[in-house]
């Protein structure tokens, strides 16, 4: 099948088979308004993601399986030199090279938990259409090829052993159009016009059949592919019953197909939890509370009434030998800023092709464990204050907007019960932390600070509350270069009116 007319596509759409497990949700936006984000996710705040698979093998980073078929890309040139021309030596020939021979999911999960992760997400399938789960619908999977291991299943077993909720990311929805370059050929050179291996119909179960000329969007318009996506994600949901499901894009294929799968996911989860849905579905689309909105490499600009998530990485998405990792301060400051705005951070910790971590990544995780051991009280189980923060840096909000130059003047707030936490994104050089939002006001009962403590330091701190703010004297010895976290108790703590607050 090389394409469909618009009339034929509409007819096929009407005949799609989209079974939804019995339960309170059906495949409509109105039905999903009954969804409520579970407490476990709101309390967790920080998850670690293994964005990992055969595209790690070349060690050239993200989207290799597509860019190797684009003659103007460096990955094409490198592939030509290392493995040969993609007419004969294509993506299908890289997949067997992914062995994951040193992968120890139990050891890694213990390390991630100690570092502060409160949930874990495994890659399910990237746009390269290779499944990391044991699939009966698709032969290109990690049990039949490559590592010959159920990667999703083993990650899930390790997560459960460590008491961590488990999620799976699916990038399959975009695969059908994403992979079409594999059907093309060189435009110039000695092999100009010779089709790449994706044009061979023997491999269309991996590369997909050719798309219609007008079918080039992120999500395909072809009902046959939409049905294929639904069936394969249904298999994943039904067989593994993850706590979280992530889609790399907005709700897949518009309303009916994607919403039906979300409803199915919620109902499958509810059946396993005595009728109460404890699942989280996250995608890159405003939710109205129906799911969790995700920002790729970006953050929300202010406090959202609905829980949300940032997905980002300490490096490239897949292992890239040319990239340097982000410093620990970047991860910590991202986490604090996101949590202050009612969000969660899902951080990709980049794995090598063999399933191990670079030494500097191991070091970073141990340092993160030290930080969360002291400051986790101000992160986990918290909720936003009336104001997310103050200082000179304020993110505009949105995807691909994540690198901020924070300093100790930037302060973020979280709450737990009647306790307020103020987290400076650095250690004040003058040994004093000034919180303008907690200035004394004309109302005698407002912002009545009674006690100020520094996490990681025993003993009370001296403080002075004036119309300019709450000035706190810190101990002479710096506890951290990363943050300075105060625990503040008092009565009627709410932002003082001031033009300097955000």
DSSP 176-195: HHHGGGGG-B-SSSTTTTPB
By the 10 Å C-beta count (0-12 exposed, 13-18 middle, 19+ buried), 276 is classed as exposed
Q: Quick one: pLDDT band at residue 502, thresholds 50, 70, 90?
A: very low
Show the domain range for 108.
18-296
What is the average pLDDT across 323-351?
97
Hey, is 104 helix, strand or coil? coil
- Give CA–CA dist 108/355, Å, rounded: 9
- Give CA–CA dist 93/125, Å, rounded: 17
Q: What is the CATH number of the domain that holds 262?
A: 3.20.20.80
* Other beta carbons less than 10 A from residue 98's beta carbon: 21
Is the confidence at residue 402, as pLDDT, over 80?
no
Sequence-separated (6 or more) residues with CB below 8 Å from residue 25:
31, 32, 34, 35, 262, 263, 266, 267, 270, 277
What is the average pLDDT across 438-451?
87
The residues pairing with 424 across neighbouring beta strands, listed in sequence order, are 411, 484
pLDDT for the residue 294 = 97
What is the average pLDDT across 391-397?
73
The residues pairing with 489 across neighbouring beta strands, listed in sequence order, are 451
Is the confidence at residue 120, as pLDDT, over 80?
yes
List, for residues 62-115, the tens digit of each pLDDT value: 999 999 999 999 999 999 999 999 999 999 999 999 999 999 999 999 999 999
Domain closes at, from 272, 296, 320: 296
Is the residue at 366 inside a domain?
no
pLDDT for the residue 501 = 40
* 69 and 171 within one domain: yes
* 401 and 279 within one domain: no
Hey, is 338 helix, strand or coil? helix
What is the average pLDDT across 441-458?
90
Is the confidence at residue 398, as pLDDT, over 70?
no
| Angle formed by the axes of helices 6-14 and 223-240, nearest 10° | 30
Which single residue is written with the structure tokens 């991202």?
A: 334
Q: Which of 49-58, 344-353, 488-497 has the lowest mean pLDDT?
A: 488-497
Is the confidence at residue 408, as pLDDT, over 60?
yes
Is the residue at 310 inside a domain?
no
List, for residues 228-270, the tens digit of each pLDDT value: 999 999 999 999 999 999 999 999 998 799 999 999 999 999 9
- Give CA–CA dist 417/297, Å, rounded: 31
Q: Quick one: pLDDT band at residue 10, thresholds 50, 70, 90?
A: very low
* Other beta carbons less than 10 A from residue 228's beta carbon: 18
pLDDT for the residue 498 = 56
Is the residue at 155 inside a domain?
yes
Are 269 and 240 in contact by the 8 Å Cβ rule? The answer is: no
Are 3 and 215 in contact by the 8 Å Cβ rule? The answer is: yes
pLDDT for the residue 500 = 43
Domain closes at, from 268, 296, 324: 296
Of 99, 100, 122, give the one whose Cα is nearest residue 240: 122
pLDDT for the residue 447 = 86
Is the confidence at residue 499, as pLDDT, over 80?
no
pTM (two decimals):
0.95
Of 22, 128, 120, 17, give the one whose Cα is nearest residue 66: 128
- Give CA–CA dist 285/302, Å, rounded: 17
List, for residues 160-203, the tens digit of each pLDDT value: 999 999 999 999 999 999 999 999 999 999 999 999 999 999 99
Domain closes at, from 262, 296, 330: 296
| Angle formed by the axes of helices 151-161 and 105-115, nearest 10° | 50
* 189 and 45 within one domain: yes
Is the residue at 342 inside a domain?
no
Is the confidence at residue 276, as pLDDT, over 60?
yes
* Other beta carbons less than 10 A from residue 216's beta carbon: 11
Is the confidence at residue 131, as pLDDT, over 90?
yes
Q: What is the CATH number of the domain that holds 446?
A: 2.60.40.1180
Of 347, 264, 259, give the one whose Cα is nearest residue 299: 347
Is the residue at 251 inside a domain?
yes
What is the average pLDDT across 127-134?
98
Strands 292-296 and 46-50: unpaired
What is the average pLDDT across 7-11?
45
Mean pLDDT of the chain: 94
Expressed in angstroms, the distance from the first to the final Cα of the chain is 56
Is the residue at 67 inside a domain?
yes
Q: Encoding tokens for residue 121?
A: 């997400």
Which single residue is written with the structure tokens 């518009």?
A: 254
List, for residues 414-423, the tens digit of each pLDDT value: 999 999 999 9
Of 486, 333, 497, give the one whose Cα is nearest residue 415: 486
pLDDT for the residue 229 = 98
Is the confidence at residue 11, as pLDDT, over 50?
no
- Give CA–CA dist 260/28, Å, rounded: 7
State how many domains the chain has. 2
pLDDT for the residue 14 = 61
Is the residue at 347 inside a domain?
no
Is the residue at 292 inside a domain?
yes
- The count of residues in the chain is 502
Task: Give percent of the chain above pLDDT 70.
Answer: 94
Are 311 and 56 in contact by the 8 Å Cβ rule? The answer is: no
- Give CA–CA dist 310/200, Å, rounded: 39
């Amino acid at each position: 099948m090389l394409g469909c007319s618009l009339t034929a596509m509409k007819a096929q759409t009407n005949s799609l088979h989209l079974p939804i497990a019995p339960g309170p949700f059906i495949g409509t936006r109105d039905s999903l308004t009954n969804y409520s984000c579970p407490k476990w996710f709101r309390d967790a705040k920080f998850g670690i993601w293994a964005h990992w698979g055969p595209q790690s093998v070349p060690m050239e980073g993200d989207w290799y399986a597509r860019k190797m078929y684009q003659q103007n890309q460096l990955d094409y040139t490198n592939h030509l030199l290392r493995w040969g021309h993609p007419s004969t030596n294509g993506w299908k020939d890289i997949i067997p090279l992914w062995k994951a021979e040193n992968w120890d999911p139990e050891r890694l999960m213990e390390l991630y938990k100690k570092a502060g992760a409160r949930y874990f997400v495994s890659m399910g399938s990237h746009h390269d259409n290779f499944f990391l789960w044991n699939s009966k619908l698709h032969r290109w999977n990690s049990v039949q090829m490559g590592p010959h291991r159920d990667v999703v299943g083993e990650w899930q077993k390790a997560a459960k052993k460590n008491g961590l909720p488990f999620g799976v990311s699916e990038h399959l929805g975009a695969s059908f159009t994403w992979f079409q370059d594999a059907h093309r050929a060189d435009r110039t050179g000695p092999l100009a016009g010779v089709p790449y291996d994706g044009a061979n119909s023997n491999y269309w179960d991996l590369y997909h059949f050719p798309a219609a000329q007008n079918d080039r969007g992120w999500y395909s318009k072809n009902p046959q592919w939409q049905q294929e996506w639904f069936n394969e994600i249904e298999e994943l949901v039904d067989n593994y019953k993850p706590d979280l499901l992530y889609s790399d894009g907005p709700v897949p294929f518009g309303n009916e197909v994607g919403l039906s799968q979300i409803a199915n996911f919620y109902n499958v989860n509810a059946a396993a939890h005595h009728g109460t849905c404890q699942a989280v579905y996250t995608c890159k689309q405003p939710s109205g509370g129906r799911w969790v909105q995700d920002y790729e490499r970006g953050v929300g600009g202010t406090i959202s009434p609905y829980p949300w998530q940032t997905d980002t990485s300490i490096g490239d998405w897949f292992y890239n030998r040319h990239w340097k990792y982000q410093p620990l301060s970047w991860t910590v400051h991202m986490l604090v800023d996101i949590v202050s705005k009612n969000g969660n951070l899902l951080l990709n910790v980049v794995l090598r092709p063999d399933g191990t971590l670079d030494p500097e990544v191991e070091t970073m995780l141990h340092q993160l464990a030290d930080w969360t051991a002291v400051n986790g009280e101000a992160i986990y189980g918290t909720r936003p204050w009336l104001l997310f923060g103050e200082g000179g840096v304020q993110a505009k909000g949105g995807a691909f907007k994540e690198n901020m130059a924070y300093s100790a003047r930037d302060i973020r707030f979280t709450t737990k019960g009647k306790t307020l936490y103020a987290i400076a994104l650095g250690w004040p050089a003058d040994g004093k932390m000034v919180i303008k939002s907690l200035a004394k006001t004309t109302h005698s009962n407002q912002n009545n600070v009674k006690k100020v403590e520094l996490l990681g330091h025993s003993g009370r701190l001296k403080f002075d509350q004036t119309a300019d703010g709450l000035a706190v004297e810190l101990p002479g010895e710096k506890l951290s270069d990363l943050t300075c976290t105060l625990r503040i108790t008092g009565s009627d703590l709410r932002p003082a009116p001031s033009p300097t607050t955000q």
